[in-house]
């Protein structure tokens, strides 16, 4: 039997994890252009960050995405990058040249897949007190 061995860094290309992320418009204000946001629009903006949008659904007030991240990404950093790029896209879609508060502060995110209670506990133990 032939045994093939790989170095850990050679397998990194195949590893990814997914997060579900959701956010709303600022103060629930309707943003009609937001309903035109789709997966391709998100991907064209975030590919330089090595983030891949697998699914995107948006209406006049809400954006929901399923993102694939690399193992070295922090959820908070990826969320900031994606949300920032969607905000920029929305400003452009509305014909605005200067920064504007179009999306709410914060977001809701959680990982999807095979997360165990032990893994969550280890993660929480590493976090600072709030």
Read off the pLDDT of residues 75-99 as tens digits, 9 standing for 90 and up. 889 999 999 999 999 999 999 988 8
Q: Where are the alpha helices (DSSP H) in the chain?
A: 8-11, 39-46, 75-93, 117-126
Model pLDDT for residues 44-58, shown as the tens digit of each residue? 999 999 999 999 999
CA–CA dist 10, 118 (Å, integer)? 27
Query: Nearest 5°: phi and psi at 66?
Result: -115, 115
For helices 75-93 and 39-46, the axis angle rounded to 10 degrees is 110
- pLDDT at site 1: 44
User: Where is pLDDT greater, at 119 or 125?
Assistant: 125
Tokens 């976090």 identify what position? 127
**Cα–Cα distance measured from residue 40 to residue 51, given in angstroms and rounded to the nearest whole number:** 12
* Interval 16-34: pLDDT, tens: 578 899 999 999 999 999 9
Say if CB 9 and CB 102 are below 8 A apart. no
Predicted structure pTM score: 0.73
**121 pLDDT higher than 80:** no
The Cα 126–Cα 129 span in angstroms is 10
């Amino acid at each position: 039997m032939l045994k093939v061995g790989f170095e850990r860094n050679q397998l990194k290309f195949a590893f990814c994890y997914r997060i579900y992320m959701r956010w709303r418009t600022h103060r629930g204000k309707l943003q009609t252009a937001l309903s035109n946001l789709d997966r391709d629009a998100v991907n064209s903006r975030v590919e330089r960050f090595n983030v891949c949008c697998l699914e995107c659904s948006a209406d006049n007030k809400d954006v929901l995405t399923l993102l694939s991240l690399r193992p070295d990404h922090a959820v908070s950093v990826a969320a900031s990058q994606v949300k920032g790029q969607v905000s920029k896209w929305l400003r452009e879609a509305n014909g605005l040249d200067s920064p504007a508060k179009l999306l709410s502060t914060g977001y809701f995110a959680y990982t999807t897949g095979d997360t165990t209670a032990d893994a969550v506990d280890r993660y929480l133990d590493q976090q600072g007190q709030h």
